[in-house]
Amino acid sequence: MSAVFNNGQKDGLTAGSGDLRALRKRLWLRSSMLVCSILVFALAAAWVASAFSARDANNVALQNVMTDSLNRGSLMEAYEGAKPDVPQAFASLIESSKEEAGDWKPTATAPDTYYSLSGPVQSPFSLAVFEGGSMAFLVPPHNVISGDGDPLYGAFNWCESALEELTNIALSNRADAGKRPKPQYIKVQGMTWKCATEIAVTSSRYSKDATGDSGVSLYSDGRLEGYEKDGYLAARVYAFVDITSSVIYLRRMAMFLAAVGVVGCAVLVLVCRKIIDRALVPVAESQARQREFLIKASHELKTPMASLSSNLDALVANSAETVASQERWTKNMREDIDELADRTCKLLDLVADPERGDSKA
């Protein structure tokens, strides 16, 4: 079948069958565009689904951090130990962790001021900012390197300077935002963090021995001084979640899917070309039979037509002869007409049944 099509393509498409050549090109382009569009859409949908899954997972982690901050006792303790800025709040956090853990000595390879607050990687944390600008950590950040960090960590250097830069950017963005700020995406030293803001409100008359309601309420917006005038303790809580791994995963996935899309489209284009070529085999064979019919018709009808024309010329040239002497010319003309009719019928039979014509040939 393919050989027949190749021959037909060579004779027809190259030798003057412009319609078939244009049809083949048009079908190839449209089918290639269709299947490539479907592939690209499927790959894009897979990436979008992964992005939504990563977003949902990060939102759950962010909500968990915010929920961990809903502790009335912790909010009061944070208020009592609040510091004017992030470095002092972090230093206070380190001192409290040292007191709880007892004497701690750094390893020989770590800086003297390095303290790990447990946790192998950057973990979610939350920061409470009270009226007047004092602040304290509700959920502590983990594995923070002191100072400007360690060059061995490269771009992803989770250190005190990165922590301070991250929290300051979040506070600055919140100050410039509207009443209901959306979650922030902050890039710091190669890391990407997601930050959400809520207002935590609880009663200012807290006692560890109290048996009354010790709940903490969250509000999306409000002024801290307004809550304090009503006798409540209020703080703006910033929850942070490191989404660097999600960003890297989605970026690598996008690159992988792009490579798959390029290779897949190239393969699909070749497959479409092969399918279109095979589908046009009957068309090529039909055109080949049509050309064969025209060639045979031209050849088969040429001889009796030439003989008939010669007899007519002879009859005209000998017009002075008697009718009896002209019978031989009319007889020859009758024979030529019969032969012409017979060959015409055979050619029509060949068109109607090509296999029959081939077997007779």
Please give the pLDDT value at position 100.
52
Beta strands in 142-300 (DSSP E): 184-188, 191-203, 217-219, 232-242
pLDDT surpasses 70 at 249: yes
Q: Are residues 219 and 326 in the same domain?
A: no
**Least-confidence region, from 59-73, 93-107, 140-154, 264-278:** 93-107
The total number of structural domains that make up the chain: 3
298 occurs within a structural domain: yes
Q: Among the three residues 187, 220, 242, which one is the final residue of a domain in this structure? A: 242
Question: Distance (Å, rounded) from C-alpha 333 to C-alpha 316?
Answer: 13
Residue 156 scores a pLDDT above 70: no
Nearest-angstrom CA–CA distance, 217 and 230: 14
- 256-275, pLDDT tens digit by residue? 999 999 999 999 999 988 88
- Backbone angles phi and psi of 156, in degrees to 5: -95, 75
Residue 134 Cα to chain centre, angstroms:
45
Round the average pLDDT of the chain to a whole number and report it.
74
Same domain, 77 and 203: yes
**3-class SS of residue 202:** strand
- What per-residue confidence (pLDDT) applies to 87? 84
Question: Which stretch, 139-143, 221-225, 283-287, has highest mean pLDDT?
Answer: 139-143
Asked if pLDDT for residue 343 goes beyond 90, the answer is no
The reply to whether 183 and 36 lie within a common domain is no
Domain annotation covers residue 247: no
Cα-to-chain-centroid distance, residue 292 = 52
23/112 same-domain check: no
Task: Return phi, psi of residue 128, to 5°.
Answer: -105, 130
Span 192-218, average pLDDT:
72
For 321, the domain range is 282-360
Residues 87 and 144 in one domain: yes
112 Cβ contact partners less than 8 Å away, ≥ 6 residues apart:
106
The closest of 202, 143, 140, 132 to 167, measured between CA atoms, is 140
Same domain, 74 and 173: yes
> Which of 68-82, 215-229, 254-268, 309-323 is the least confident region?
309-323
pTM: 0.64
pLDDT confidence band for 35 (50 / 70 / 90): very high
pLDDT of 44 higher than 90 = yes
Instruction: Evaluate whether 131 touches 228 at the Cβ level (below 8 Å).
Output: yes
Distance CA 29, CA 276 (A): 10
Q: Are residues 138 and 26 in the same domain?
A: no
Considering only 124-128, 217-221, 328-332, which range has the smallest mean pLDDT? 328-332
Q: Across residues 64-89, what is the average pLDDT?
A: 82
Cα separations (Å) of 272 from 22, 26, 33, 36? 16, 12, 10, 10
Task: Name the more confident of 185 and 224.
Answer: 185
For residue 146, give the DSSP letter: S
Residues 183 and 269 occupy one common structural domain: no
**Residues 22 and 115 both lie in one domain:** no
Q: Do residues 88 and 236 both lie within one domain?
A: yes
| Of the listed ranges 93-102, 145-154, 171-180, 197-206, the one predicted with least confidence | 145-154
| Higher pLDDT pick, 349 / 127 | 127
182 and 274 co-located in one domain: no
Q: Could you give the CA distance from residue 171 to residue 165 in angstroms, rounded to a whole number?
A: 10
pLDDT(114) > 60: no
Of the candidates 198, 177, 187, 199, the residue with the CA atom closest to the CA atom of residue 242: 187
For CA atoms 54, 144, 184, 64, give the dihedral sign.
Answer: positive
The segment with the largest mean pLDDT, out of 30-39, 124-133, 139-148, 280-289, is 30-39
Task: Name the residue among 247, 244, 251 with its Cα closest to residue 121.
Answer: 244
What is the pLDDT at residue 163? 86
**Which CATH number does the domain housing residue 293 bear?**
1.10.287
